[in-house]
Structure 1
Amino acid sequence: MEHLGTLFEMGKAICAPLQSLKENENILDKKIEELSYRESDVQAELERGKLQYGKMPKREVELWLKNVQNIKDKVHDIKQKLGEVSWTHIQLRMNLAKEVEVKIKEAVELKENGRFQEGLLVDLLVGSIETFPPIKIVGETTALKNLQKIEECLMDDEVGKIGVYGMGGVGKTTIMTNIHNNIKNAGTFDIVIWVTVSKDSNLKKLQDDVSKELCLSLSNTEDALRRSAEVFRALNLIGKFLLILDDMWRPFSLTEIGIPEPNEENKCKIVWTTRSKKVCRGMGSQRTIKVDALTKDESWTLFKEKLGVDFVLSPEIEPIAEAVVEECDGLPLGIITVGAAMRGVDDIRIWRSALEDLKNSRPDLEGLEDDVFSSLRFSFDHLKTQIHRDCFLYCSLYPEDYRIACDSLIENWIADGLFDEIEDREKGFDKGYTIINDLKDTCMLENCNRDGDGLNLSFVKMHDLLRDLAIAITRKSHQFVVKVCSNVGKFPRDENLMDDVIRVSLMYSSIELLSRSKFPKLSTLLLEGSRFHSINRFFFEHMQNLRVLDLSNIYFITYLPQSLSNLVNLHVLRLVGLNHLKEVPSLAQLRELRVLDLSGTSIKNLPDGMDHLTNLRCLGLSNTTSLEMVPVGTISSFAHLEELLMVGSKWKWSSNENRNGRGAGVAEIVRLVHLKKLLVDFVDLSDLSSYVRFGHWRGLNCYVLTVGYRFNDLEGIKNNFYSRVREVNIFHTDCMSTIYMKEPTQGDNLANLKYIHIRNCPKLKYVFSVGWFQTLQNLEEISVEYCQAMEEMVVDMGNMGEANNNITITLPRLKRLALLLLPKLKSICKRTLICSSLELIRVDKCPNLKTLPFSINSLPSSLEQIKGSRRWWDSLEWDNANTKMQLQPFFSDGPQYDLQLEEDQERQHLQFSARPDYGLQREEDQERQGTKRKADSYLPDLNLPPLSLMQQHEESEPRELSPRNWQLWKTRE
């Protein structure tokens, strides 16, 4: 009986969790409900903070929200399993019952952690840091006088609405750009917003542009009133704003947009620039300022500057040159373009001819002022070659103020036959970039790389007047149809007008129907961003000469007509962002195709006939999230392929060639001997290692090799498409305990490595061996974050556990060292570091780090700040009391978790973003804010010489790759 009693008690104890299971389920439901309420409160506060001054969540808050979602998902799984598991499966139910108890405790703890006594947000001050690249004001007396008038109005509380007007090309935008930067740097307003209105703007676009500047996501509704209410609420929360509306063509109602009326109470200001004084009256300007043309002396000074500082005009030519300048009528744009066209000319006959051309080139074209047109037309006529003129006119196919990617533009030029004499694609690109540089040198194109693009990313745009000129010229020839950002209706309307048309652009237009028609000479058709639901099934039937077709970002397209298969001369086919497109017609007949970009489509399989595309040079399959298979032999059949872009695809590359008999493996990539650009994801780290061991990457100009993350940012992918980046990215990996531990052999070094950023590697204990660390002679920044197992950053393999303070390591260029949330870190380096360039040391949440690797004889001479908690600083142990005394003035007790203001402004929606300055280069940062930068990349321990993988030019700039990317090593060119 005693034994029976014991067994009974044991059984009772075993079954106890089952007996309380139902009760615990109810408790868990209640705790999850309470946690969800707290989550809703946090989300609401974050939303309010986002609207008010653009505040962003602290990273600990983002992590908390992620953990809340994780526990809710897990609880959902547990309850689902409980509903499926039979009562007879005692052991399974007992396991689930224990999980319920654990989740109750976790939910209670998580709710408690969600109090955030020190607040949820960090200041971002949207719009207050981004400054534009400085543009020199020409004509000091006239322009500065205008600038001063505008700034005086901005300081006058009684003036809220200011109109700035003047003829095209007179310099209105240049003046406002300088005011924009001055005001931002002065901090006079809570936020400064710049919106380029342009000729084709409408109410919805203006609302979108303003909301974008506010980092505000307008609701998906088309209701203009609701959208204006959201903009109005955001601007009211922000407080004192300055809104600059550049290049207004007609009046808009501020109320309809959602812009509060400026008054003496809110002290807000609105400034617009326009060519028409009538617009100023229509907008209700309280002050109207006319931007005058340059004086005669200012015009002459500017002209000589554009001719070249070393160029001296002969006494015979100088009076002719002065007459040339007079023809430009004091307009900076005209003077600049004409001056650039005449640069280096010292033949009096050419100068006389130029003057005559300017006098006789009065337009008979509507919409362009005589003086503007004559100088710009002169500049166009005096371009080097007809090819230069054709390439310039081609740029008018893109919308006003459109950032044109140079690689894409040159690809179109090549495909459209502008370089017929060049067969080799690489030589075609060389020629294309030469022409772009020539057009920029003559001021016919503008460089518009936003700071932060970096890495050889290249974009250009046309000044709106030059675009007007190009459209006017092409309109006379009847060879271009350019109807961008407009309501086209039915296209084509008159089939008879299409006989001579060679290029059509309907980008971002609303089209009722693409109807059947004959386009016997059409070679380029750009439909990117247009709004239509269907294409006539015969639409492409009579376009046998078509060579460039861009249907990107037409969101309503679900299918393409079979007549697409008839485009036998097509060279470029772009279908980017057609996320409803699941199938593409057969491409078997498109044997001339060079570029095929299906990025962002929903295709499950590659189109039929892919193996016939033997001339393919570039294949884009990035973000094809439904792509289930790449058949064996397809990729390797593209013998001339130069670019393979597949980041974010559902299809990941594996070293397993067969994949159980289905699909291609990395060996197919290796067979692509002409490949120059490779952006792909691998299944796991071993598959990446397998590819790297082939050494194929050594012949690439550009690569992004990724493990463990799905890209979903098409814009980021597009930027990588046009970049020269070299990156290896490893995300969310927990398989590494170390990176480089083996001592380097002869020829192994990391001499070109500049930045080391490590984050969220939970098993990583060590970063470097001493031997590898000593090779980092160009290293500028080390950042290690969220590595729970990290014990030593640099370990001495020969003397594990022993201090070697008397032996030094010199890192002459190291500027920044940041160590965040490393609970087990005990040592940075047990050897003494000599870092003469070190400016910043940042330590957060590293309670076991008791020493810094400096001695009294090796203190960083450039040190500006040591930032950490007072408790950590007071707990540090020193080899010499004087060491602490020398470093004490640089210590500041900073709040934990909060990254510096500049860093947060750079990061915006990123959880992590690599910065080269950590707030020490404020002026440079303010200029770089045009785009967010993406986090840097990393190299795993592949036990291979890393030198080639680490190549990096001095001029390389940090840049973003994608949102929320947690990576290991940065390496790029």
Structure 2
Amino acid sequence: MLTVAGLKEALGDGNINMIGVWGMAGVGKSTLVREVAKKVKEEKLFDEVAIAIVKQSPDLKKLQVEIAEKLDLKFDKESLSGRADLLRERLTKDKNKKILVILDDIWEKLDLDEIGVPSKGCKVVVTSRDRDILSTWMGTDKVFELQVLPKEEAWSLFEKFSGDSLKDSNLRSRAIEVSTACAGLEELYVGNSFTQWEVEGLNNERASLAELKHLSQLTTLEVHIPDANMLPKDLALKLKLNTSFQLESGIKMLLNGIEDLCLDELKGVESIIYELDTKGFQQLKHLHVQNNVEIKYIIDLRGLVIDYIVFPALEIFSLKNMNNLEEICHGQLPLTSFRNLRIVKVEHCEKLKFVFSSSIAKGLSQLQELEIRECSIMGAIVLKEEAGVEDRDMILLPQLRHLVLHRLPKLMSFLSTQKSVINDAGEIIPECDLDFHMPILLDQVVFPNLETLELSYIDSEEILQNQHQSRSSFKLTNIQTKSRFQNLRSLKVEGSGSLKYLLSSSTARVMEQLKYLSIKDCKVMEEILLTEDLGEEEEIIPMVLFPRLIDLELIDLPVLKRFCIGIQGITVSKELKEMNSEEISLTTMQPLFNEEPKVWYNSRKLSVSECESITEVVAGEGGEGNEVITFSQLTYLKLDCLPNLTSFCSRSYSFEFPSLEEVIVSKCPEMKIFCHGILSTPKLERVQATKEDEWHWKVDLNTTVRTLALEGQTMIPLCNSSSE
């Protein structure tokens, strides 16, 4: 049973950033998190706590204002992104302050980055009625279930909120009966004798249907409701329909006008359209289908010709654990079906070969979020099925802002070409060349407003089509090329076993809005940006790549040589606030970047780990020995498992770290001194040999590192990667 103490304990765990609390309506999620907020403030576990209520249709600007008010933050910007930047800075700028953000009553995935709540830098608690929303779509580190209170605890809570009114012995006995009966109620029969229900929200004494939301154990309900306007708008009733006779006229009539529908473990149905609604669900806005082993098609139109649009109002479409699903639509749909889709999420559909046909995809002008996860034979997201359509024809998704492709081992490309066929096993393969490799995102697929792109555990040699190849193959204009990723803010790539480079440098040039770049577990990646021979029409000019980049993460890239090889005059963002480089075995003794690493000087956090060949962090070649180098924003420095590191810099540069507060030097057996020049660290008073280790301090940083080396604290030779 989740308690205030249990949640407080999780909040104190340094390895947990986001906690989820889920449970049925009325079980007490909001009460619990507010009690926790009160306790952690009283006990000074957190310096500040901000609570915002999300609800079913969240207003992101209103949420920003709610959080900001709790933090005494005033917005001087009106745009959503401008406010998000201010809020993010407020939540992360003071490393000494512990801040807790509570987002109550989440109904669907909430983009915290869009609001301005960072994944690091503060603790976040989110509550929802749906566990899947928390664990899968919000990415919580730990999820708690809040269940119905046992009899004793229910009475204790009832008594606490009732106050002195329970001193009356007669009232007290009746109150005990009420508190024990209602919370565990399993059956409720209310017939025609209660036809005068109160409308929710009126201050009258008759019963309101809103009370049903608090009966979390209710399994049987018989009630007469003469006026549908009395139904609360957020009341959800889950019906168990196991056999086909239960789907006769009464239920089908309800489904015909329904707006929100969740089908969980539905039996006896192979296709939703026609078996559940012959009119194509004209009113349905939200459809979630999960945990089914029988449904083969959401829509089966074999041999049928229809003259109406299917799912014309559908906005959110989610499929999960559909083990027998082969196609979403089998047959030809009217082209404007699905025209209002905003969010599509597909997970664990083991027989699904593709998501949409190209004819339907061309009509998805409102699509904003697309997440496809763990579909073992999916070969393409969009299948080009029409005869006579050339491969160069473009698929435009003008409103798509969020794209996630995760663990799709057979994925060849986002869009299959006419040279691809589906084999007997349902896999999409090249027709004539089994060794043919396509980029994941061909140039015919255009996302002019894409902000977030996440690709993980997809085996492809190329993510984005090389821009210079595309010019000859598809004749794209410069405007078309630039519009593909001009608004991209976050790019994450993980778990690719074939990717040797991330992007071409020409493609990187158009990503002027990129703020977050993360690359992990790419075993053969040699460089981040692939250099190209510039055409005669292109002038070689100095340029800054990713001018707005603030967070760079490079982890487990064992053969990475450089960020970008061979380009003169290129620099990387001077706005970089955090760089994390782990498990990189540099093949040269040169720095990761061509330039002197001034790119790091504005970093707030610098972590260098598992780099077997690196001997120094700041290159000691060239330059004047009396140069002063200042890391003005750096607060955290970690040097871990660097077996050949001798010092931060081998030359006699002077280093200033005016903001540095935390240093970890671990498993660096050759490091006997931090640096050889003058060193200034006015705020630093401790050094740790591990994150969990007690701190050490002797006069200054150089003396402390020297002492740790003499005591053997930095001389742990084995690292996890090398010992595996």
TM-score under structure 1 length normalisation:
0.40
- 2:286 and 2:576 mapped to 1: Cα distance? 44
- 1:590 and 1:245 mapped to 2: Cα distance? 38
- TM-fit CA distance, 1:697: 0.7
In structure 1, the partner of 2:455 is: 647
Match of 1:604 among 333, 356, 379: 379
- 1:843 and 1:197 mapped to 2: Cα distance? 38
In structure 1, the partner of 2:330 is: 562
Q: Look up the equivalent residue of 1:504 and give its one-letter code.
A: D
CA contact (8 A) 2:297 2:330 kept: no
Specify whether residues 485 and 668 from structure 1 end up closer, same or farther in structure 2 by C-alpha distance, changes over 3 A only.
farther
- 1:472 and 1:867 mapped to 2: Cα distance? 71
Match of 1:814 among 631, 634, 652: 634
CA deviation map 1:597-641 (0-9, x unaligned): 362333224313595855553284613321224457995445664
Specify whether residues 196 and 638 from structure 1 end up closer, same or farther in structure 2 by C-alpha distance, changes over 3 A only.
closer
CA contact (8 A) 1:132 1:181 kept: no
In structure 2, the partner of 1:576 is: 346
- 1:478 and 1:635 mapped to 2: Cα distance? 47
Specify whether residues 582 and 778 from structure 1 end up closer, same or farther in structure 2 by C-alpha distance, changes over 3 A only.
same
- TM-fit CA distance, 1:887: 8.4
- 1:501 and 1:558 mapped to 2: Cα distance? 27
Q: Look up the equivalent residue of 1:576 and give its one-letter code.
A: V
Q: How does 1:48-87 map to 2 (within 5 A)?
A: none
Q: How does 1:813-962 map to 2 (within 5 A)?
A: 813-829=633-649, 830=651, 831-853=653-675, 858=680, 860-867=682-689, 884=703, 894=713
CA contact (8 A) 2:602 2:632 kept: yes
Q: Secondary structure at the match of 1:794?
A: coil
CA deviation map 1:20-61 (0-9, x unaligned): xxxxxxxxxxxxxxxxxxxxxxxxxxxxxxxxxxxxxxxxxx
- 1:821 and 1:662 mapped to 2: Cα distance? 46
CA contact (8 A) 2:553 2:581 kept: no
In structure 2, the partner of 1:503 is: 259
Match of 2:578 among 734, 754, 762: 754
Q: How does 1:171-210 map to 2 (within 5 A)?
A: 171=31, 174-175=34-35
The CA RMSD over aligned residues, in Å, is 6.3
Alignment of 1:246 onto 2:53: no
Alignment of 1:617 onto 2:399: yes
CA contact (8 A) 2:601 2:632 kept: yes
Q: Secondary structure at the match of 2:561?
A: coil
- TM-fit CA distance, 1:818: 2.4
Q: Look up the equivalent residue of 1:755 and give its one-letter code.
A: M
Alignment of 1:793 onto 2:612: no
- TM-fit CA distance, 1:506: 0.9
- 1:736 and 1:197 mapped to 2: Cα distance? 44
- 1:475 and 1:845 mapped to 2: Cα distance? 68
Specify whether residues 131 and 818 from structure 1 end up closer, same or farther in structure 2 by C-alpha distance, changes over 3 A only.
closer
CA contact (8 A) 2:19 2:141 kept: no
CA contact (8 A) 2:654 2:677 kept: yes
Specify whether residues 732 and 668 from structure 1 end up closer, same or farther in structure 2 by C-alpha distance, changes over 3 A only.
farther
In structure 1, the partner of 2:208 is: 364
Alignment of 1:628 onto 2:396: no
Specify whether residues 510 and 289 from structure 1 end up closer, same or farther in structure 2 by C-alpha distance, changes over 3 A only.
same
Percent identity (aligned): 13
Q: Secondary structure at the match of 1:819?
A: strand
CA contact (8 A) 1:807 1:832 kept: yes
Q: Secondary structure at the match of 2:503?
A: helix
Specify whether residues 729 and 481 from structure 1 end up closer, same or farther in structure 2 by C-alpha distance, changes over 3 A only.
same
- TM-fit CA distance, 1:669: 7.8
- TM-fit CA distance, 1:568: 2.5
Alignment of 1:690 onto 2:505: yes
In structure 1, the partner of 2:113 is: none
Aligned residues: 496
In structure 1, the partner of 2:278 is: 518
CA contact (8 A) 1:863 1:890 kept: no
- TM-fit CA distance, 1:647: 1.2
- 1:552 and 1:292 mapped to 2: Cα distance? 43
Q: How does 1:345-494 map to 2 (within 5 A)?
A: 358-360=202-204, 363-365=207-209, 367-368=211-212, 476=230, 482-484=236-238, 492-494=247-249
Specify whether residues 740 and 530 from structure 1 end up closer, same or farther in structure 2 by C-alpha distance, changes over 3 A only.
same
CA contact (8 A) 2:579 2:605 kept: yes
In structure 2, the partner of 1:588 is: 359
- 1:544 and 1:885 mapped to 2: Cα distance? 67
CA deviation map 1:659-689 (0-9, x unaligned): 9x99999999835357533757696555624
- TM-fit CA distance, 1:534: 1.0
CA contact (8 A) 1:707 1:730 kept: yes
CA contact (8 A) 2:327 2:353 kept: yes
Specify whether residues 818 and 750 from structure 1 end up closer, same or farther in structure 2 by C-alpha distance, changes over 3 A only.
same
In structure 2, the partner of 1:350 is: none
CA deviation map 1:267-305 (0-9, x unaligned): xxxxxx36x66x86xxxxxx95644227699xxxxxxxx
Gaps of 5+ in 1: 1-123, 136-165, 187-194, 216-242, 249-272, 281-286, 298-355, 374-399, 401-463, 465-470, 712-723, 900-909, 913-973
- 2:126 and 2:514 mapped to 1: Cα distance? 39
Higher strand proportion (structure 1 or 2): 2
Alignment of 1:783 onto 2:607: yes
- TM-fit CA distance, 1:592: 2.9
Specify whether residues 656 and 684 from structure 1 end up closer, same or farther in structure 2 by C-alpha distance, changes over 3 A only.
farther
Q: Look up the equivalent residue of 2:262 and give its one-letter code.
A: L
Specify whether residues 476 and 628 from structure 1 end up closer, same or farther in structure 2 by C-alpha distance, changes over 3 A only.
same
- 1:487 and 1:359 mapped to 2: Cα distance? 37
- TM-fit CA distance, 1:857: 7.1
In structure 1, the partner of 2:559 is: 734
Single out whichever of 633-642 and 858-867 deviates more from structure 2: 633-642
Q: Secondary structure at the match of 1:599?
A: strand
- TM-fit CA distance, 1:696: 1.3
Q: Look up the equivalent residue of 1:586 and give its one-letter code.
A: S
Match of 2:319 among 552, 563, 571: 552
In structure 2, the partner of 1:939 is: none
Q: How does 1:135-284 map to 2 (within 5 A)?
A: 171=31, 174-175=34-35, 246-248=146-148, 273=149
- 1:537 and 1:857 mapped to 2: Cα distance? 67
- 2:561 and 2:40 mapped to 1: Cα distance? 48
Specify whether residues 789 and 898 from structure 1 end up closer, same or farther in structure 2 by C-alpha distance, changes over 3 A only.
closer
CA contact (8 A) 1:506 1:530 kept: no
Q: Secondary structure at the match of 1:766?
A: coil
CA deviation map 1:783-817 (0-9, x unaligned): 22222221222124425xx9x3x543222333333
Q: Look up the equivalent residue of 2:642 and give its one-letter code.
A: L
Q: Look up the equivalent residue of 1:617 and give its one-letter code.
A: Q
- TM-fit CA distance, 1:497: 1.8
In structure 1, the partner of 2:487 is: 676
Larger Rg: 1
- 2:521 and 2:506 mapped to 1: Cα distance? 12
- 1:131 and 1:182 mapped to 2: Cα distance? 22
Specify whether residues 365 and 892 from structure 1 end up closer, same or farther in structure 2 by C-alpha distance, changes over 3 A only.
farther
- 2:690 and 2:28 mapped to 1: Cα distance? 54
CA contact (8 A) 1:815 1:837 kept: yes
- 1:496 and 1:797 mapped to 2: Cα distance? 77
- TM-fit CA distance, 1:478: 10
Q: Look up the equivalent residue of 2:671 and give its one-letter code.
A: L
- 1:794 and 1:522 mapped to 2: Cα distance? 62
- 1:887 and 1:485 mapped to 2: Cα distance? 69
Q: Look up the equivalent residue of 1:690 and give its one-letter code.
A: S
TM-score under structure 2 length normalisation:
0.51
- 2:226 and 2:602 mapped to 1: Cα distance? 53
CA contact (8 A) 1:598 1:620 kept: yes
- 1:507 and 1:891 mapped to 2: Cα distance? 65
- TM-fit CA distance, 1:835: 2.0
